Amino acid sequence: MSADNPDLVTVVGIGAGGWSSLAGTSRSALSSARVIMGSDRQLALLPASIEAQRVPLPSPLLPALGALLEQYAGAGLAVLASGDPMFHGIGATLVRLVGPDRVRVEPHPSSAALAAARLGWPLASTEVLSLVTADPATVRRALNPGRRVLVLARDASTPATVAALVTEAGYGSAVITVLEQLGGPAERIHSGEAASWDSPPGDPLAVIAIDCGTDGPATSLVPGLPDPAYQTDGQLTKREVRAVTLSVLAPVPGELLWDVGAGSGSIGIEWMRSHPTCRAVAVEPTPARVAHIRANAAELGVPGLRIITGRAPEALADLPVPDAIFIGGGVTRDGVLDACLSALRPGGRLVANAVTVESEAVLAAAYAKLGGELIRLSVSRGSPVGGFTGWRAMMPVTIWSVTT
């Protein structure tokens, strides 16, 4: 605690090793605190000599956290976090709520760091995912031959869930290692093949390590996945056009895309696959296609894709401000193009595709009025012609892009 800043919140990382594993600065912060918040498990790790008032954090946490911070403002508050508070922990949440000037963080080795140390894996080249709040299907995006992945468990059933998901994705021979209570006296590590995983649920405080091996299917993160990767009724932006469209949309980490008239969801899905922090909203009026979008997003590892069942422009109301918009369908519908242009933030990008004469006319008029770039893309694919090979032309696509 600091006499100069009585409103300071000190966040102390603590591991399964408890008090004995804490650094001196962390012990000092907890010893001088008058109020300590944490989960029941974390609070139980403190010795009886710590005289501070102990306040269990509620579940769900976020709705009540602001009121708790206000209640104990100026009270010499410390908050316990698992491992490194700024690594999938409460530290980042507190900074967002009260600002960095009011938060001091005393980190502890994260469970990912401890797991990498036990396994001998270089953490810099190992992908780390948290399923504490995320959908388990998120793991699919990280699976590729030769890759190693660390997954922070939500509960005791997470290892079995991950093993089943990995097997379903074609990585049944992947080695699954569960590391429980890392750094504590009850530390336990056990491994097995994903396809034959039969270990009973263990400790919920666990990291699941996935060594993909070399036998599973490769799935590129570069835009332009093969068309058969998608469930579709035929309403799909084809591979070559999709690759060009996404290059024009130019996804940037952390940005939000509206995929309007999403069809099978391919543009929004590959936007999100480009970086874990990219977000997208798919707007589609046809329920059967919405079901395809949902299945495709889960299959390709981006279950966080938000799906709006509705027709633009009405369905666009109250959506968060986008950084980029793709119009794949409905550009001829009254108000769609104007609503999308109005919704973009300054400097945002809009890309619209057309395959009909009518939709192409709308884009030509928009280009004449607003400028931007107009591209006509023609693609031919080789196909059998008797015993030979000939070119079969796909419908040409007009792509208009503009920056607001």
- Strands 9-14 and 148-152, by their bridges, are unpaired
Query: What are the start-end ranges of the E strands in 92-205?
Result: 103-106, 127-130, 148-152, 175-180, 188-193
Q: How would DSSP label each residue in 235-297?
A: ----HHHHHHHHHHH---TT-EEEEET-TT-HHHHHHHHT-TT-EEEEEE--HHHHHHHHHHH
Q: The CATH number of the domain where 275 resides is what?
A: 3.40.50.150
Tens of pLDDT, residue by residue over 162-174, are 999 999 999 999 9
Tell whether 61 and 145 lie within a shared domain: no
- Domain span at residue 340 reads 227-403
DSSP three-state, residue 66: helix
| Residue 218 belongs to some domain of the structure | no
| Residue 207 belongs to some domain of the structure | yes
Q: Say if residues 35 and 23 touch (Cβ distance below 8 Å).
A: no
Residue where a domain terminates, one of 91, 109, 127: 109
Q: Which two tokens mark 10?
A: 């000190």
How would residue 74 be classed by pLDDT, with cut points 50, 70 and 90? Answer: confident
| Residue 1 belongs to some domain of the structure | no
Q: Say if residues 18 and 184 touch (Cβ distance below 8 Å).
A: yes
Q: Is 1's pLDDT higher than 50?
A: no
Tell whether 191 and 284 lie within a shared domain: no
The pLDDT of 374-378, averaged and rounded, is 96
| Residue 246 belongs to some domain of the structure | yes
User: Residue 73: its pLDDT value, please?
Assistant: 86
* Average pLDDT value over all residues in the chain: 95
Tens of pLDDT, residue by residue over 109-168, are 999 999 999 999 999 999 999 999 899 999 999 999 999 999 999 999 999 999 999 999
Tens of pLDDT, residue by residue over 33-61, are 999 999 999 999 999 999 999 999 988 88
Tell whether 71 and 170 lie within a shared domain: no
How would residue 7 be classed by pLDDT, with cut points 50, 70 and 90? Answer: confident
Q: Which two tokens mark 367?
A: 């280009």
Tell whether 335 and 232 lie within a shared domain: yes
Residue where a domain terminates, one of 81, 109, 137: 109
| Residue 220 belongs to some domain of the structure | no
113-135 burial, b if ≥16 CB within 10 A, otherwise e? bbbbebbebeeeebbbbbbeebe
> For residue 322, which phi and psi values (nearest 5 degrees)?
-90, 155
Query: What are the start-end ranges of the E strands in 131-239?
Result: 148-152, 175-180, 188-193, 206-211
How far is residue 365's CA from residue 343's CA, in Å, rounded to a whole number? 20
| DSSP code, position 136 | G
Q: Which two tokens mark 401?
A: 């892009």
What angle separates helix 239-249 from helix 266-273, to the nearest 10 degrees?
A: 60
User: Residue 107: its pLDDT value, please?
Assistant: 95
| Residue 88 belongs to some domain of the structure | yes
Tell whether 165 and 82 lie within a shared domain: no
Residue in 272, 321, 280 with CA at minimum distance from that of residue 300: 272
Q: The CATH number of the domain where 195 resides is what?
A: 3.30.950.10
Tell whether 169 and 138 lie within a shared domain: yes
| Residue 45 belongs to some domain of the structure | yes
Helix (H) or strand (E) holding 381: strand 380-385
Tell whether 105 and 205 lie within a shared domain: no
260-294 burial, b if ≥16 CB within 10 A, otherwise e? bbbbbbbbbbbbbbbebebbbbbbbbbeebbebbb
Q: Say if residues 72 and 35 touch (Cβ distance below 8 Å).
A: yes
Q: The CATH number of the domain where 46 resides is what?
A: 3.40.1010.10
Q: Which two tokens mark 182?
A: 């890392």
Tell whether 261 and 200 lie within a shared domain: no
| Residue 222 belongs to some domain of the structure | no
Residue where a domain terminates, one of 79, 109, 139: 109
Tell whether 44 and 57 lie within a shared domain: yes
The pLDDT of 216-222, averaged and rounded, is 95
| DSSP code, position 329 | S
| DSSP code, position 5 | B
Tell whether 144 and 276 lie within a shared domain: no
Looking at the chain, the whole-number percentage of residues with pLDDT higher than 90 is 94
Tell whether 36 and 179 lie within a shared domain: no
Number of domains in the chain: 3
Tell whether 102 and 241 lie within a shared domain: no
Instruction: Assign residue 6 a region (left: φ > 0; alpha: ψ between -120 and 50; beta: otherwise).
Output: alpha
